[in-house]
Each structure stands twice: as C-alpha cells, then as structure tokens.
Amino acid sequence: MSDDDFMQASDEEYDFEYEDEEEEDNGDVDIENKYYNAKQTKISDPEEALEEFLGIPALESEKGEWGFKALKQAIKLEFKLQRYEKATEHYRELLTYVKSAVTRNYSEKSIDNMLNFIEKGADNPEAVQCIEQFYSLTLQCFQSTNNERLWLKTNIKLAKLLLDRKDYHAVGRKLRELHKVCQKEDGTDDPSKGTYSLEIYALEIQMYSETRNNNQLKALYQKALRVRSAVPHPKIQGVIRECGGKMHMSEENWNSAQIDFFEAFRNYDEAGDLRRIQVLKYLLLVTMLMKSDINPFDSQETKPYKNDPRIAAMTELVDAYQRDDIFKYEEVLQKNTDLLADPFIAENIDEVTRNMRTKGVLKLIAPYTRMRLSWIAERLRISEPEAQDIVSYLIVDGRVRGRIDEHNGTVEIESEGDAERAKAIEAMALAVKDLYTAVFKDADGFRLVGEMAGAAGFGDSMGDFGGAFGHPDRDRARGGRGGRAQRRGGMKSVLAMGVH
C-alpha cells in the first residue's frame, strides 16, 4: 500500500469516528444553548422561558443533567406564576431523575434548594398545600431509594414548616418520629447521627419556648448542650442559645440570659443569619434588666454593630437608662413603637420601664418630706395610680420611710435625721435603764449601809441614813464635825461598792 493509499484510508477511518462525536457534541451544545437562552429570558418573558425549559427533557435520548436542570427552572417559574398543579406534576417528574440521571450529592443539594425556594414563596393557602405535596412526594421517593440522609433532612424541614405554622401537635408527632430514627436500640442517641439529633433538639426547644413549657425546655436545653458527637451549623447553636436566653429571662436569671444571648448572637453572626440583629436587641434589653453599667458594645463581636441603624433605638434606650434620664427614655419609646412589635421585647420592656420610673421617683422625692401624688405623676409624666403604685412598692421594699394618705392623695416621708435622732434617744433610754438596774436594784450598796448603821448602834439604819441627809442639826448634836466626816466616808463606801 502506497503512502497516499494509507493516508486516504486513515482519513476515511478518522473522519467516520469524528463525525459521530461531532453529532453527539452538537446535540449537547444545542441543549445547553437552549437552556441558557431560556434562563436569560425568564425575567423578561417567563412564559417563553417556561416553554423552552419544558422542551429540553424531550431533546435528550435518555434522562440526563440538562433535563434535570431544565425541570428545576420550570418548577420554580410555575410556582412563582402560582400554577401549583403543574409545578407538582413536574416535580414528580423531576424526582425520577435522582435515581440514575444525576449524582446523589447533586440531587440532594438540588432538592434541598428546591424545598427552601418554595418555602419562602408560601404566602397563601394554595402554596402551602403545594409545599405539603412536595414534601410528601420527596419522602416517598427517598424512602423507596433508602436514602436515609435526605429523608431525615426533608423530615426536619417539614417539622420546621409545621412549627412555623404553629401546628404543635403535628410537630410533636414528627419530632418523636425523627428522634426514634436517630436513636440506637437501647433508646440512647446514635453518635453517628449527632448533627441531625441536635437539629431535632433545636426544633423541639423552639416548640417548648413558644408554648412556654419551661420544665421540658430546661431539661432539653441542658441535654442539647451536652451533645458532643455533632458538628452543627452555627445557626442551630444560635437557635438553642436564643431559646435558652428566653428561658433564663422568664426565670429572671439575668446573668445566664446575657451569656446565652451573646452566644446566640455570635453564632448567628458566624452563620450570616439576619436573626443576629434581633438577638442583639435582646442582649441590650437584658443589659438594662441587669442594671449594668457595662457597655455591651465593648466586645469585639458586637462593636461593628454599634452604629447599625437597625438597633439605634435600643442603643438610645440603654444610653438613657444608664444615665437615669427618664424623659429621654420615654421619648425613645414613644418615637420607636416598632420596638414593641417583637412580643418578647414588649413583654420584658415593662420591667425596664418600671425600674426607670422607680429611680425617677427616688430622685424626685429625695429633698421633700411631704408631697402630692398628682405632683409626682405630673413631673414624671405618668398617671397618678402608677405614681401611687411605685411609691407603695418603695415603702414596702424599705427603700423609703413614709406613708401614703390615700384620702388626701399625699405622701409623707420621714426625715432620715429624725429617724437617727429617734434611734439615739431610744439607745440612751435603754442605757439609763441598765444603769438604774445596776446601781439601785442589783447592787449591795444599801444593804451595806444598813449593816454599818447597826454596828454603830442605830436602831433604824435607813431612817438614820435619811436623817443624815434631812436633819443636819440633829447630826451636829450627835457628833459635830466628826460625825459629818464619818457619814461622808460612809457615802463614799456606798457608791464605791454599788458601782463595783
């Protein structure tokens, strides 16, 4: 065979093989181009894009990656266009791809993102019903394929959806089912599923926090903190710590609440979760309840948020509270009514306001001993019953000495100086009483006088003793100056013995 014949034969052989590859590549390129063209027009012309996406699966000779991607885009468009039945139908078709058309990891990530997408768009009853159908189809699919990991993930998402809808009975049933899957035969937690167990604990803690079941919440909170076999997402830790902080707040354990809220903020911040702003507000709230003078923005984690406009109102409240500026405090509350939109802040801010007003009353009444309740109310810009309530609390608590005349609407405060003088007089009276008892009742001085008088020949010792003081002429008749000198000596001995 000549060189020309060889080259001709070689060209024919290679041309044949190259043409087959080119046809296959051209087919994939056409599908890929069709997919990206549809993706570019889905915002400007969603109807045309939807038609293009739905046409791609038919172009593949067998189920492949481009058909899977096209169906995902079509389902999202149909859900946004509120074509829930079509979205459900095509989602059922999408699930047939996960068995062989795409890899397991890719299918898990795609399904997870799909469920997250439709959850965010569930703003009407029909959308919620569609989501429930999506979850049902997903669970059936991955239960049949024995994909326990995605089955657990999907069930956890479903439990969270039920919790958001406040269907606590359904949440409880679902969580019991999930706990059973994550436990060993002896009923203890399976360490190999520690991450899932912690997510389940976080949901259960949220449920008990919302239903105010503090007994169950406390036990579960401690149990969740003891889990060491998991490497949870920071958001999960943030949820657990936030609920723990709320639990401690309900028990007025301000120090533990502050620790938990700070940890919750730190974890949310690490996860990039917007919940960090709300938890930072809780941290500022508990700072006031602790009556602390420490600036919560001194830490490295919170410092970048000091001038964040989303927490400006709470920052102003803390500043006014620490300066005892009740008028500024009330002004901030009146201007920022949206602060009370959070039920947790609304529930606890009353205690802060009461503390603030109590400090204001103490400063106001300090220079006075008598005042009207109406005057206190007017100066602090509160109602008269509130003023009376605060003064009554201060009297009962022992921080103010005084009494309220409800008939005249006045308050009378006892002066601290008068109280000190009264205490001094009382102490002096007790000392005089003790001295009297020691000298004139318990001492032997008068009995000794009687014995001395008897030895000198006097019949009535006490009478003679009285005569010594009452009849000086008779004294001189009995002994002159010598007798008087002797009696003085007798008195000295009496006093000396009595005092001793």
The secondary structure of 147-168 as a DSSP string is -HHHHHHHHHHHHHHHHHTT-H
pLDDT surpasses 50 at 203: yes
pLDDT surpasses 70 at 49: yes
Instruction: For the chain, state the CA radius of gyration.
Output: 45
| Environment class of 171 (CB within 10 Å of its CB; exposed 0-12, middle 13-18, buried 19+) | buried
Query: Which of 296 and 255 is assigned the larger pLDDT?
Result: 255
Mean pLDDT of 341-354: 88
Residue 55: partners with Cβ closer than 8 Å, 6 or more residues away:
34
Place of tokens 């009452």: 470
Positive or negative: CA dihedral 56, 60, 65, 68 = positive
- Report the pLDDT value the prediction gives residue 304, as an integer from 0 to 100: 87
Which of these ranges, 240-249, 270-279, 377-386, 415-424, has the smallest mean pLDDT? 415-424
Positive or negative: CA dihedral 212, 213, 214, 219 = negative
pLDDT surpasses 90 at 278: yes
pLDDT surpasses 50 at 159: yes
Whole-angstrom distance, CA of residue 235 vs CA of residue 183? 23
- Report the pLDDT value the prediction gives residue 62, as an integer from 0 to 100: 83
- Predicted confidence band at 494 (pLDDT cuts at 50, 70, 90)? very low
- Report the pLDDT value the prediction gives residue 257, as an integer from 0 to 100: 93
pLDDT surpasses 80 at 177: yes
Please state at what angle helix 65-80 crosses helix 104-120, rounded to 10 degrees.
10
Whole-angstrom distance, CA of residue 228 vs CA of residue 349? 36
Mean pLDDT of 259-278: 92
Residues 71-91: tens digit of each pLDDT: 999 999 998 888 889 988 998
The helix/strand/coil state of 120 is helix
Mean pLDDT of 331-338: 87
- Report the pLDDT value the prediction gives residue 246, as an integer from 0 to 100: 92
- Predicted confidence band at 416 (pLDDT cuts at 50, 70, 90)? low
Contact 439, 498 (CB under 8 A): yes
Whole-angstrom distance, CA of residue 88 vs CA of residue 114? 12
Whole-angstrom distance, CA of residue 359 vs CA of residue 367? 14
pLDDT surpasses 80 at 329: yes
pLDDT surpasses 80 at 10: no
Residues 235-250: tens digit of each pLDDT: 989 999 999 999 999 8
Give the type of residue at 226: R
- Report the pLDDT value the prediction gives residue 481, as an integer from 0 to 100: 43
Mean pLDDT of 302-312: 87
| % of the chain with per-residue pLDDT over 70 | 79
Contact 234, 212 (CB under 8 A): no
Whole-angstrom distance, CA of residue 87 vs CA of residue 50? 11
Mean pLDDT of 208-217: 88
- Name the token pair of 262: 């700070």
- Report the pLDDT value the prediction gives residue 491, as an integer from 0 to 100: 42
**Where in the chain are the domains?**
24-165, 233-350, 367-413, 439-499
Whole-angstrom distance, CA of residue 286 vs CA of residue 348? 9
Beta bridge partners of 402: 413
pLDDT surpasses 60 at 490: no
Q: What are the residue ranges of helices labelled H in 251-342?
A: 254-271, 275-289, 312-322, 326-335
What is the average pLDDT value for the chain, to the nearest integer?
Answer: 78
pLDDT surpasses 90 at 483: no
Residues 161-171: tens digit of each pLDDT: 888 888 889 88
For 367-413, CATH gives 1.10.10.10
pLDDT surpasses 50 at 66: yes
Angle at 374 between CA 368 and CA 379, to 5 degrees: 70
pLDDT surpasses 60 at 106: yes
CA distances to 9, 128, 132, 142 from 13, rounded to whole Å, are 6, 60, 57, 47
CATH architecture of residue range(s) 24-165: Alpha Horseshoe (1.25)
pLDDT surpasses 80 at 143: no
- Report the pLDDT value the prediction gives residue 74, as an integer from 0 to 100: 92
- Report the pLDDT value the prediction gives residue 428, as an integer from 0 to 100: 84
Mean pLDDT of 375-401: 87
Please report the beta strands in 81-199, taking only residues with DSSP state E, as ranges in sequence order.
none
- Report the pLDDT value the prediction gives residue 454, as an integer from 0 to 100: 52
Mean pLDDT of 264-285: 92
- Report the pLDDT value the prediction gives residue 443, as an integer from 0 to 100: 58
- Report the pLDDT value the prediction gives residue 21, as an integer from 0 to 100: 43
Which of these ranges, 62-66, 88-92, 118-122, has the smallest mean pLDDT? 118-122
- Predicted confidence band at 119 (pLDDT cuts at 50, 70, 90)? confident
Residues 451-468: tens digit of each pLDDT: 555 554 544 444 444 444
Q: Determine how many CB atoms are found less than 10 A away from the CB of residue 129.
A: 13
Contact 97, 107 (CB under 8 A): yes
Residues 426-438: tens digit of each pLDDT: 788 888 877 777 7
Q: What is the DSSP letter of 189?
A: B
- Report the pLDDT value the prediction gives residue 474, as an integer from 0 to 100: 45
Mean pLDDT of 29-51: 86
- Report the pLDDT value the prediction gives residue 258, as an integer from 0 to 100: 92
